[in-house]
Amino acid sequence: MKKVLLGVGLLLSVSVGTGAAAPINDLDRGQTAVGVLTDTIYLEHKIGENLTVGYQNVDRKHGSDMDDFYAQYKLPFSSVRAILGHRDLGSGSTYIGLSVSEGLAPRVDGYASVIGSDDFIEYQVGATLELTRAVDLNLNYRNFRPDHYRNESRLEVGASYKF
């Protein structure tokens, strides 16, 4: 157990140093989040009342990185967001999706998302723990099902820094 806690502590110290992490963030207008997960780094910025734009880089096991440019639009009066993005400019594909997030407990939010295109589908379920107003800890399960590579499922840990 001590080794697991030490490993999580080391991951957090590295993550917070570079920025840190979670795919579904609740940002205020004009706020930016920088994040790291097990194999992902990302940057998001909320540019309007309901619109967040972002970039993420995922280091996949099969040897090629994937770069995503995306937008999330929070539907009025709900916790649902519509997602539109493009993976790997030039040779990639445009994808669409939905996410939902809800408070589970004080300072803990749960979320689920699905995105897909004609080349892949990706599911994600996770929870975010607010450590401070600027730093969140994230734990999620991600399932990636591409058409041309092996399916990947993994449990991921990360953190995010908001400013």
| pLDDT score, position 63 | 60
pLDDT recorded at residue 81? 95
d(CA 81, CA 99): 5
**Paired tokens of 128:** 């975010």
Q: CB-based contacts of 160: which residues, under 8 Å, 6+ apart?
A: 19, 20, 21, 22, 25, 33, 34, 35, 36, 128, 135, 136, 138
Q: Rounded to whole angstroms, how far apart are CA atoms 111 and 150?
A: 25
CA distance 94 to 104: 32
Tell me what pLDDT residue 13 has: 34
Rounded to whole angstroms, the Cα distance separating 17 from 19 reads 6
| Amino acid present at 16 | V
Q: Is 39 exposed, middle or buried (0-12, 13-18, 19+ CB in 10 A)?
A: middle
Domains present along the chain, CATH in parentheses: 2-162 (2.40.160)
Half-sphere CA count of 137, side-chain side, radius 13 A: 12
- Summarize pLDDT for 103-159 with one digit per residue, the tens: 999 999 999 999 999 988 999 999 999 999 999 999 999 998 888 778 888 899 999
For residues 150 and 11, the answer to whether their CB atoms sit within 8 Å is no
pLDDT computed for residue 152 by the predictor: 82
Q: Looking at beta carbons, which pairs linking 96-105 to residues 24 or more positions away fall under 8 Å?
A: 97/122, 99/24, 99/72, 101/24, 101/26
Write the pLDDT tens digit of every residue in 67-88: 899 999 999 888 999 999 998 8
